[in-house]
Amino acid sequence: MTTPSPPRLAVRGLEVAFGGLTALDGVDFDVHPGETVALIGPNGAGKTTVFNAVCGLVKPRKGTVRIDGRPAPAKTTRLLAAGVARTLQGLGLFDRLTVLDNVRVPLVALRDPDADAKARSTIEDLGLTGLAHRPAGALPYPDRKRTALARALATGPALLLLDEPAGGLGPGDIEDLAEVLDGLRCAILLVEHHVDFVMATADRIVVLDFGRVIAAGTPDEVRNDPAVEAAYLGVEAAV
């Protein structure tokens, strides 16, 4: 009998508190290989705190975060070595560096001897070849977003954490982003406020409310959940 492989990401009983404020309260979910899971909820629901707990930037009061069955490492280089990459809501690009050099950063951190070739290949995949030698800070916002995504993809992650990748993009750029994500083979954990994008992209959705999971399931299951519709989707769709 074949032993099933562990989830790419397994979060169990996650509790995080900041002073007297409980940011996460018993959060459980999995992300399996090749699956896209979206975290949704209003501001303050705990979505980014989940990301920070996965990346070791905050220490849980209780609970575990495991990647491929092993405890998640806390240091950035160890996360990269474990096959985890993340984009930031604020992009986090080095504005004075070129697009190429920004994308090379994680590869250099891993001392990858093929850093230049892998960075160029990723830039080509994201349609940024013509901008490779432009300073990232001089680019229009959609190209800066693509550069941040290229930097995350350059290491060939097994688990990709995307923090509001569609934020600030127009309809055409969002369609392009959805096409890119659809072609990826890695597991994806996605935080996003753009509900139509989430519904079209995610295999499963986890809904947070004040740090707790109030619903989880396929897009259709979540869409048809009366509590979710009342608390989130109607509000978000109207924004």
Q: Per residue in 114-172, pLDDT tens?
A: 999 999 999 999 999 999 999 999 999 999 999 999 999 999 999 999 999 998 889 99
Domains parsed from the chain with CATH numbers: 1-83+158-239 (3.40.50.300), 90-156 (no CATH)
List, for residues 54-99, the tens digit of each pLDDT value. Answer: 888 888 999 999 999 888 877 677 888 889 998 887 788 999 999 9
Assign 132 to helix, strand or coil: coil
Least confident of 54-58, 143-147, 224-228, 230-234: 230-234
Assign 144 to helix, strand or coil: helix
Question: Please, are residues 55 and 84 in contact by the beta-carbon 8 Å criterion?
Answer: yes
Q: pLDDT at residue 187 above 70? A: yes
Q: Report the alpha-carbon distance of residue 109 to residue 179 in Å, rounded.
A: 29
Give me the pLDDT at residue 225, please.
80
Beta strand 70-71 pairing with 62-67: antiparallel
Beta strand 187-191 pairing with 9-18: unpaired
Q: pLDDT at residue 238 above 60? A: no
Q: Report the alpha-carbon distance of residue 218 to residue 130 in Å, rounded.
A: 39
Question: Please, are residues 206 and 38 in contact by the beta-carbon 8 Å criterion?
Answer: yes
Question: Please, are residues 191 and 167 in contact by the beta-carbon 8 Å criterion?
Answer: no
List, for residues 196-212, the tens digit of each pLDDT value. Answer: 899 999 999 999 988 89
Give me the pLDDT at residue 239, please.
31
Query: Using 50, 70 and 90 to split pLDDT, how confident is the model at 233?
Result: low
Query: Using 50, 70 and 90 to split pLDDT, how confident is the model at 4?
Result: low
Which pTM does this prediction carry?
Answer: 0.88
State residue 39 phi and psi, 5-degree precision. -100, 125
Give me the pLDDT at residue 223, please.
82
57's CB contacts (< 8 A; 6+ apart) are: none
The residue ranking higher by pLDDT, 225 or 21, is 21
